[in-house]
Amino acid sequence: DPLAPAPLAAVGAAILGALRPRLLVVSTPNREYNAVLLGLMGVSARLNERGLRDIDHRFEWTRSEFEAWARELADQFAYKVDFHGVGRAPGDDVGEDVGSATQIAVFARELTEEEQASRRSSDTALPVHPELSVTWDSSAEP
């Protein structure tokens, strides 16, 4: 979002194509959720002139736009990608499903045969990506 779309395309290729991490987590605001923010918090003055959350945002993606971008990169560089969301305001019933406040793509790369052999011959294990779920009790004291 602070990056313009053209440099963002180069960043995706540089990270997934050249650096080839085993795991990459990318998060970005969900533009569809801005309607919830407007309705619940009255933050219209905080949205920039294009209806984006922060003045430095060049763009914000809808869920379908973000997923299309991530799937294209995953296909191009042989990654598996899963999508998740973070943040839902209490009572965010705007009459339609707009997803979460923040959208996340988790890119995972399978180990090559060479990496698998190297891993078997060393005592060093790759970190495990655990599932994490946090529930916030809005009635609790801060």
Q: What pTM does this model have?
A: 0.69
Q: Which pLDDT score is estimated for 74? A: 95
Of the listed ranges 100-109, 111-120, 128-137, the one predicted with least confidence:
128-137
pLDDT value at position 89?
62
Per-residue pLDDT band at 1 (split at 50, 70, 90): low
d(CA 112, CA 110): 6
Q: How far is CA 51 from CA 55, 78, 93, 107, in A?
A: 10, 35, 20, 29
